[in-house]
């Protein structure tokens, strides 16, 4: 039985169908989860997709954090369930304090959509172990956000770097002013990963710049299948 | 107390503000004739917005008829002109709906909200047809790139389009950005939206069935946008007139999140069969939706207007009827399914209110707190407005303009001069890379974008199982149209048609947005008449019917009308998007060839404009048979997998096309210009019906040459793609490193706009 990966739809989620498609292409079964439904329906892992949950008029992810579904996500994530937050999902994970730091308006003060070169800094997470043998593989996936500048206090940044919790870093140009070119980070266990770039948009050569993003989804399937047997 | 029907009948001589609402004396008299009394304040509000130029097409109707009269026969059209948007059967049980609309004046007054609500409005038109919106394209025109006001308008418009479209989850897959002094006080913001619907699920805007309920759902109604269609879109536009109150309150304010949930809510309502008829609320708000729904259906409606949820409790009934608040729809729902309808709305937290019901009285009756404020035959509001055949006169300066040909201009001739001209043109605002703009738009969302700008046409997949998809392009050249509106309109169509064919898609249908000056100026009206005639004739000739569109009059900078600017959108079909042809010269190499014939055609060209600031002579000749032959070769070449790249030739000529194809993938080329023409002409002439292609091997080259020969289309070998060289070489003339080209091409807009 393929691993069941939940994809949450908040009002205003946009890349939920793309995330579900990516799960399917990687060989998993995508399970649609609804913001108002507090049950995770027994999924093995959860993806919080990109978009503008509830319009994001207050602060990105600030409202979504209080959705009924998020109570279950936070609870089970704290118990070890893998969670991937992409773009708005990353913002929600930070607002929910599952990941440290915050995402602020891009330093260029504009929305930026482009094909972005990234370095996988850590393969020791549930969502990146399919990449390369050693750390440092470079990939190209789309980045698209208006508020993607990752910020945190000095001590947090030092801790993240020292513990190898910077998962993905921008190379060849920082699109949004993120501190230390940080594109994505993880929690202490490597089960919870958040990143601004969109791996789900780089899973098919027909519609994406590369298929480099697929590794995030094959990683979790390897992880959950391994855990389940 | 409100101005009621009964009170109006008793007070025939009460003065009414018909002139302030944009009506003429004879139009007001006609309303009194229709009703047999003076209109109430609410009725006057309804007639004034619905009889505005924007809603009634009163000056354009007599011309637009040609689109239907001359339309080529087709069995693909499921809905055509007159619906919210045309619907094209694309096979496999799928249909595609698409339409382009303007939001020019609001975008000048308030660039961000004007452009944002321009996106929102056309998206609801597409949604009202039952379709999921899947892509947008934006055709934009601004004043000079370095003008101070352009630095205000352009960033606001681009951020507004991005802010709204990105938040809706709609990929932006194409469009244009053009600068010209004629748009300095009047930018053009034309937005095209594409939607996909199962062909048996197309929705209609009609209120049928006595007793069916009329439901308003979506955002609350406020005072924003009152008179948008009449005050803002249908009158001459002088922002400097300090004696008049500012027109900013007539611009609507957008809430893309509300529209996003409205889209998902509507799609679920359609899927569950809960909608008997539906109309979006756009220009003229409820006045338009109620009278159009009633006109197309059983014919009557009783509405309790005080049930409309308001943002401001003090609104009057006439304000409620004329409000253009965004993100609202009006549905007709069978009484038995109203509860189910409301449940779906509740799931999405969409406010929904039953306003009234369908009747067979032939009247739209509106009550306001128990009082009778409207009682009108709906067709007289929605369809029987005034029609004017306005005087037309050939512009008095046209002969002088045409006589001033580009022959008088100094041309580059030495290799160094040619090289310098090429670099100057690829960096000129109109030909420079538009990434500064397009990088602010999400092109990936929905995961079906196969080609997006700067490709010739945007391509989206509509069916993952089969790979079926569509290609769309918008084009229009105001300078060509200024010199010859009949030919200019045909060239706009030809370019969009060619762009779509370059991707490998078969062009099938047309939408258009006609941007002009004041219809009360006979010279503008002549341009309009010629444009419509040219476009209708060309559509007949190319077999691509017009399925819908929009007219925007009163576009002028100060006293001077803009160039006549028809923007033409063409829709093409691909049975499998995997065979799409990109513009990029491939790293695998190949032979570069030119399809079509280059002539010394530089009137209205980008070279004359950018280098000499000159506009004169005649635009390139139109040859629609050639265009059709070229499209056939491009489509056959894609089907038979003979082409590894194709790029249409248009503004900037061969030089620009080759540079763009090189830079797209960072692969150089070695080009030998054909003999018999001066190198300058070969590089920069803008002859139509041409494309540059790459064929991967000698066998493919022979077959493409044969396809051309069978159709009498010239095939000229130009050279080869030269991977690894990093240069573009014109043999015997000059060489330019791609890096130098890239810097020239990509630095212009960032330098201007930050």
Among B623, B684, B698, B618, which residue's Cα sits nearest to residue B651? B684
The span from the CA of B405 to the CA of B733, in Å, is 27
Segment A172-224, tens digit of pLDDT: 999 999 999 999 999 999 999 999 999 999 999 999 999 999 999 999 998 76
A54 DSSP assignment: G
CA distance B284 to chain A (A): 26
Segment B559-593, tens digit of pLDDT: 899 999 999 999 999 999 999 999 999 999 999 99
| Residues on chain A touching B447 (C-beta within 8 angstroms) | 15, 17-18, 21, 200-201, 204, 207
Tell me which chain A residue has its CA closest to the CA of residue B441. Answer: A113
Among B314, B380, B361, B64, which residue's Cα sits nearest to residue B207? B361
Segment A53-97, tens digit of pLDDT: 999 988 899 999 999 999 999 999 999 999 999 999 999 999 999
User: Beta B668-671 vs B727-730: how paired, if at all?
Assistant: parallel
Percent of chain A exceeding pLDDT 70 equals 96
- What b/e readout covers A105-116, taking b as 16+ CB neighbours within 10 angstroms? bbebebbbbeeb
Contact B169 A51 (CB under 8 A): yes
pLDDT band at A132 (very low <50, low <70, confident <90, very high): confident
| Residues on chain B touching A212 (C-beta within 8 angstroms) | none
Contact B448 A207 (CB under 8 A): yes
The span from the CA of B176 to the CA of B157, in Å, is 13
pLDDT for residue B241: 45
In this model, does residue B243 exceed pLDDT 50? no
- What b/e readout covers B337-354, taking b as 16+ CB neighbours within 10 angstroms? bbeebbebbeebebebeb
In this model, does residue B242 exceed pLDDT 70? no
Domain hosting A56: range is 4-228
CB atoms within 10 A of CB A209: 16
Contact A55 B167 (CB under 8 A): yes
Distance, C-alpha B470 to centroid of its chain: 17
Query: Is B479 inside a domain boundary?
Result: no
| Residues on chain B touching A55 (C-beta within 8 angstroms) | 167, 255-258, 260
| Residues on chain B touching A113 (C-beta within 8 angstroms) | 166, 438-444
* Residues paired with residue B303 on neighbouring β-strands, in sequence order: B356, B366
Contact B461 A206 (CB under 8 A): yes
Question: Model's pTM, two decimal places?
Answer: 0.95
How many residues appear in chain B? 754
Segment B166-212, tens digit of pLDDT: 999 999 999 999 999 999 999 999 999 999 999 999 999 999 999 99
| Residues on chain A touching B449 (C-beta within 8 angstroms) | 207
Instruction: Name, in order, each residue with C-beta under 8 angstroms of B406's C-beta and a sequence gap of 6 or more.
Output: B602, B603, B605, B608, B612, B614, B616, B617
Q: Is the ipTM of this complex over 0.90?
A: yes
Domain hosting B744: range is 582-754
Q: Which residue has the tokens 């003229």?
A: B284
pLDDT for residue B239: 44
- Dihedral sign of CA atoms B193, B196, B199, B202 in order: negative
B331 DSSP assignment: E
pLDDT band at B2 (very low <50, low <70, confident <90, very high): confident
CATH number for position B622: 3.90.650.10
| Residues on chain A touching B578 (C-beta within 8 angstroms) | 206
The span from the CA of B51 to the CA of B284, in Å, is 10
* Residues paired with residue B645 on neighbouring β-strands, in sequence order: B694
Active site residue A200: yes
pLDDT for residue B491: 98
- Are B143 and B108 a contacting pair, CB within 8 Å? no
CATH number for position A45: 3.40.50.880
Segment B333-359, tens digit of pLDDT: 999 999 999 999 999 999 999 999 999
Contact A18 B447 (CB under 8 A): yes
The span from the CA of B735 to the CA of B726, in Å, is 10
In which region does residue B716 sit, left (phi positive, over 0), alpha (psi from -120 to 50) or beta (all else)?
A: beta
Query: Is B708 inside a domain boundary?
Result: yes
Per-residue three-class SS string for chain A: CCCEEEEEECCCECCHHHHHHHHHHCCCEEEEEECCCCCCCCCCEEEECCECHHHHCCCCCCCHHHCHHHHHHHHHHHCCCCEEEECHHHHHHHHCCCCCCEEECCCCCCCEEEEEEEEECCCCCCCCCCCCCCCCCEEEEEEEECCCEEECCHHHHHHHHHCCCEEEEECCCCCCCCHHHEEEEECCCCCEEEECCCHHHCCCCCCCCCCCCHHHHHHHHHHHHHHHC
Q: Count of A–B CB contacts within 8 Å?
A: 84
Question: Among residues A35, A60, A121, A198, which one is catalytic?
Answer: A198
Q: Which of B510-514, B553-557, B596-600 has the lowest mean pLDDT?
A: B553-557
pLDDT for residue B280: 95
The span from the CA of B454 to the CA of B458, in Å, is 9
C-alpha distance across the termini of chain A, in Å: 11
CA distance A164 to chain B (A): 31
CA distance A140 to chain B (A): 14
Query: Is B218 inside a domain boundary?
Result: no
The span from the CA of B16 to the CA of B332, in Å, is 33
Percent of chain B exceeding pLDDT 70 equals 97
Residues on B contacting A at a C-beta cutoff of 8 Å: 159, 162-163, 166-169, 255-258, 260-261, 264, 348-349, 438-450, 461, 577-578
Among B673, B627, B591, B671, which residue's Cα sits nearest to residue B502? B627
Q: Which of A220-229, B98-107, B665-674, B691-700 has the lowest mean pLDDT?
A: A220-229
Query: Is B466 inside a domain boundary?
Result: no
Percent of chain B exceeding pLDDT 90 equals 91
pLDDT for residue B246: 53
Distance, C-alpha B430 to centroid of its chain: 19
Q: Which of A144, A204, A207 sits opposite B442 (nearest CB)?
A: A144
Query: Is B604 inside a domain boundary?
Result: yes
Segment B34-75, tens digit of pLDDT: 999 999 999 999 999 999 999 999 999 999 999 999 999 888
CA distance B86 to chain A (A): 26
| Residues on chain A touching B267 (C-beta within 8 angstroms) | none
Q: Which of A17, A52, A110 sits opposite B440 (nearest CB)?
A: A110
Tell me which chain B residue has its CA closest to the CA of residue A53. Answer: B257
- Are B570 and B174 a contacting pair, CB within 8 Å? no
Q: To which H or E segment does residue B189 belong? A: strand B188-198
pLDDT for residue B78: 85
Query: What is the four-CA torsion angle of A89, A90, A92, A93, rounded to 10 degrees?
Result: 120
Q: What is the mean predicted confidence (pLDDT) over B93-103? A: 96
Residue A52 CA neighbour count, 13 Å, CB half? 27
- Are B335 and B215 a contacting pair, CB within 8 Å? no
Query: What is the four-CA torsion angle of A36, A38, A41, A45, rounded to 10 degrees?
Result: 90
Query: Is B732 inside a domain boundary?
Result: yes
pLDDT band at B100 (very low <50, low <70, confident <90, very high): very high
pLDDT for residue B706: 98
Segment A133-148, tens digit of pLDDT: 666 899 999 999 999 9
Question: Among residues A35, A60, A87, A186, which one is catalytic?
Answer: A87
User: Beta B546-552 vs B449-451: how paired, if at all?
Assistant: unpaired
The span from the CA of A85 to the CA of A166, in Å, is 14
The span from the CA of B93 to the CA of B198, in Å, is 6
In this model, does residue B249 exceed pLDDT 80? no
Q: What is the mean predicted confidence (pLDDT) over B645-664? A: 98
Query: Is B722 inside a domain boundary?
Result: yes
Which tokens in the block code for residue B709?
A: 């020969």
Distance, C-alpha A111 to centroid of its chain: 19
- Are B460 and B470 a contacting pair, CB within 8 Å? yes
Segment B721-733, tens digit of pLDDT: 999 999 999 999 9
Among B605, B730, B642, B652, which residue's Cα sits nearest to residue B454? B652
Query: What is the four-CA torsion angle of B603, B609, B613, B618, rounded to 10 degrees?
Result: 10
| Residues on chain B touching A112 (C-beta within 8 angstroms) | 439-440
Active site residue A95: no
Active site residue A87: yes
Angle at which helices B698-710 and B624-639 cross, to 10°: 150
Residues on A contacting B at a C-beta cutoff of 8 Å: 11-12, 14-15, 17-18, 21, 50-52, 54-57, 110-114, 142, 144, 146, 198, 200-201, 204, 206-208
The span from the CA of B231 to the CA of B238, in Å, is 12
As a whole number, the mean pLDDT across chain B is 95
- Are A43 and A31 a contacting pair, CB within 8 Å? yes
Q: What is the mean predicted confidence (pLDDT) over A113-118? A: 98
- Dihedral sign of CA atoms B260, B265, B270, B274 in order: negative
The span from the CA of B369 to the CA of B364, in Å, is 16
Sheet holding B565-574, edge to edge: B449-451, B458-461, B469-475, B565-574, B506-515, B546-552
Q: Which residue has the tokens 């530089």?
A: B602
As a whole number, the mean pLDDT across chain A is 95
Contact A12 B450 (CB under 8 A): no
- The dihedrals phi and psi of B311, each to the nearest 5 degrees, come to -80, -30
Instruction: Name, in order, each residue with C-beta under 8 angstroms of B104's C-beta and a sequence gap of 6 or more.
Output: B186, B187, B188, B189, B190, B233, B515, B552, B555
- Are B79 and B128 a contacting pair, CB within 8 Å? no
The span from the CA of B750 to the CA of B244, in Å, is 37
Residue bearing the bigger pLDDT, B646 or A1 = B646
Which tokens in the block code for residue B68?
A: 């239907």
| Number of domains making up chain B | 1
Which whole-number Å values give the CA distances from A185 to A98, A107, A119, A195, A211, in the listed order? Answer: 11, 20, 12, 7, 21
Tell me which chain A residue has its CA closest to the CA of residue B459. Answer: A207
| Number of domains making up chain A | 1
Contact B159 A21 (CB under 8 A): no
Contact A55 B258 (CB under 8 A): yes
Which tokens in the block code for residue B367?
A: 């009550």
Which whole-number Å values give the CA distances from B684 to B357, B406, B584, in the listed order? Answer: 63, 13, 20
């Amino acid at each position: 039985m393929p691993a069941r990966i939940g994809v949450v739809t908040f009002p205003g989620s946009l890349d939920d169908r793309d995330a579900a498609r990516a799960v399917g292409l990687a060989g998993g079964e995508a399970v649609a989860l609804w913001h108002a439904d507090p049950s995770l329906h027994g999924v093995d892992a959860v993806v919080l997709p990109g978009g503008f949950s509830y319009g994001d008029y207050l602060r990105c992810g600030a409202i979504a954090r209080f959705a009924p579904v998020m109570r279950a996500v936070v609870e089970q994530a704290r118990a070890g369930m893998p969670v991937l937050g992409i773009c708005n999902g990353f913002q929600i994970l930070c607002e929910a304090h599952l990941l440290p730091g915050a995402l602020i308006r891009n330093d260029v003060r504009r929305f930026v959509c482009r094909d972005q070169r990234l370095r996988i800094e850590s393969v020791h997470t549930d969502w990146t172990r399919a990449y390369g043998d050693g750390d440092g593989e470079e990939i190209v996936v789309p980045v698209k956000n208006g508020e993607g500048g990752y910020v945190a206090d000095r001590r947090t940044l030092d801790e993240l770097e020292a513990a190898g919790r910077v998962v993905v870093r921008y190379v060849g140009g920082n699109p949004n002013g993120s501190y230390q070119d940080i594109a994505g980070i993880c929690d202490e266990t490597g089960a919870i990963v958040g990143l601004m770039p969109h791996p789900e948009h780089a899973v098919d050569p027909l519609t994406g710049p590369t298929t480099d993003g697929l590794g995030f989804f094959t990683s979790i399937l390897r992880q959950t299948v391994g855990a389940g047997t | 107390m409100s101005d009621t029907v009964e009170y109006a009948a008793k007070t025939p001589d009460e003065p009414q503000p018909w002139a302030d609402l944009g009506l003429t004396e004879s139009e007001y008299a006609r309303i009194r004739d229709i009703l047999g009394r003076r209109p109430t304040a609410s009725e006057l509000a309804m007639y004034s917005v619905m009889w505005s130029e924007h809603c009634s097409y009163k000056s354009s109707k007599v011309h637009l008829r040609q689109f239907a009269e001359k339309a080529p026969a087709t069995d693909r059209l499921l809905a055509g002109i007159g619906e919210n948007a045309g619907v094209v059967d694309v096979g496999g049980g799928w249909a595609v709906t698409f339409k382009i609309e303007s939001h020019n004046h609001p975008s000048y007054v308030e660039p961000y909200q004007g452009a944002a609500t321009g996106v929102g409005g056309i998206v609801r038109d597409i949604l009202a047809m039952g379709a999921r919106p899947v892509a947008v394209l934006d055709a934009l025109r601004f004043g000079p790139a370095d003008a101070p006001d352009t630095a205000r308008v352009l960033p606001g418009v681009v951020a507004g389009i991005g802010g709204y479209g990105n938040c809706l989850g709609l990929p932006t897959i194409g469009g244009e950005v053009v600068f010209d002094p004629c748009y300095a006080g009047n930018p053009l913001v034309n937005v095209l939206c594409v939607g996909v619907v199962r062909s048996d699920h197309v929705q209609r805007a009609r209120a049928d069935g006595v007793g069916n309920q009329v439901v308003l759902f979506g955002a609350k109604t406020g005072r924003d946008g009152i008179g948008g269609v009449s005050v803002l879109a249908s009158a001459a536009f002088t922002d400097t007139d300090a004696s008049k109150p500012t027109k900013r309150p007539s611009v609507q304010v957008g809430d893309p999140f509300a529209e996003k949930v409205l889209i998902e809510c509507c799609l679920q309502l359609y899927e569950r069969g809960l909608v008997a008829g539906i109309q979006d609320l756009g220009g003229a708000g409820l006045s338009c939706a109620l009278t159009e729904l009633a006109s197309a259906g059983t014919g009557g409606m009783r509405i309790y207007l005080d049930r409309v949820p308001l943002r401001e409790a003090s609104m009057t009934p006439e304000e409620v009827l004329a409000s253009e608040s965004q993100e609202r729809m009006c549905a007709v729902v069978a009484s038995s399914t109203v509860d189910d309808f409301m449940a779906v709305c509740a799931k999405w937290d969409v406010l929904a209110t039953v306003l009234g019901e369908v009747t067979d009285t032939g009247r739209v009756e509106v009550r306001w707190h128990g009082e009778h404020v409207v009682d009108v035959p709906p067709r007289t509001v929605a369809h029987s407005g005034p029609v004017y055949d306005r005087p037309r006169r050939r512009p008095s300066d046209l002969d002088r303009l045409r006589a001033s040909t580009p022959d008088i201009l100094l041309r580059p001739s030495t290799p160094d001069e040619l090289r310098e001209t090429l670099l100057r043109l690829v960096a000129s605002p109109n030909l420079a890379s538009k990434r500064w703009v397009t990088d602010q738009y999400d092109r990936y969302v929905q995961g079906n974008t196969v080609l997006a700008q700067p490709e010739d046409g945007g391509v989206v997949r509509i069916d993952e199982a089969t790979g079926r998809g569509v290609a769309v392009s918008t084009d229009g050249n105001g300078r060509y149209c200024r010199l010859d509106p009949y030919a200019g309109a045909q060239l706009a169509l030809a370019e969009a048609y060619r762009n779509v064919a370059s991707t490998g898609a078969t062009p099938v249908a047309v939408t258009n947005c006609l941007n002009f000056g004041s219809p009360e100026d006979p010279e503008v009206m002549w341009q309009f008449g010629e444009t419509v005639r040219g476009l209708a004739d060309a559509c007949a000739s190319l077999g691509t019917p017009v399925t819908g569109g929009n007219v925007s009059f009163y576009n002028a900078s100060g006293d001077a009308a803009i160039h006549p600017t028809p923007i033409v959108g063409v829709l093409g079909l691909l049975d499998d998007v995997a065979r799409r042809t990109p513009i990029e010269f491939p790293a695998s190499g190949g032979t570069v060839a030119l399809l079509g014939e280059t002539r010394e055609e530089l009137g209205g060209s980008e070279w004359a404009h950018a280098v000499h600031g000159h506009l004169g002579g005649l635009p390139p000749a139109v040859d629609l048979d050639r265009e059709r032959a070229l499209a056939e070769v491009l489509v056959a070449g894609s089907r038979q997998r003979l082409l590894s790249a194709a790029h249409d030739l248009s503004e900037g000529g061969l030089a620009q096309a080759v540079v763009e194809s090189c830079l797209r993938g960072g692969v150089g080329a070695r080009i030998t210009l054909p003999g018999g023409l001066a190198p300058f002409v070969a590089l920069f002439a803008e002859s139509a019906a041409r494309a540059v292609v790459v064929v991967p091997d000698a066998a493919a080259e022979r077959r493409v040459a044969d396809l051309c020969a069978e159709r009498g289309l010239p095939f000229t070998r130009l050279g080869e793609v030269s991977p690894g060289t990093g240069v573009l070489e014109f043999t015997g003339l000059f060489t330019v490193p791609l890096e130098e080209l890239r810097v020239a091409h990509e630095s212009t807009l960032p330098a201007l706009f930050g």
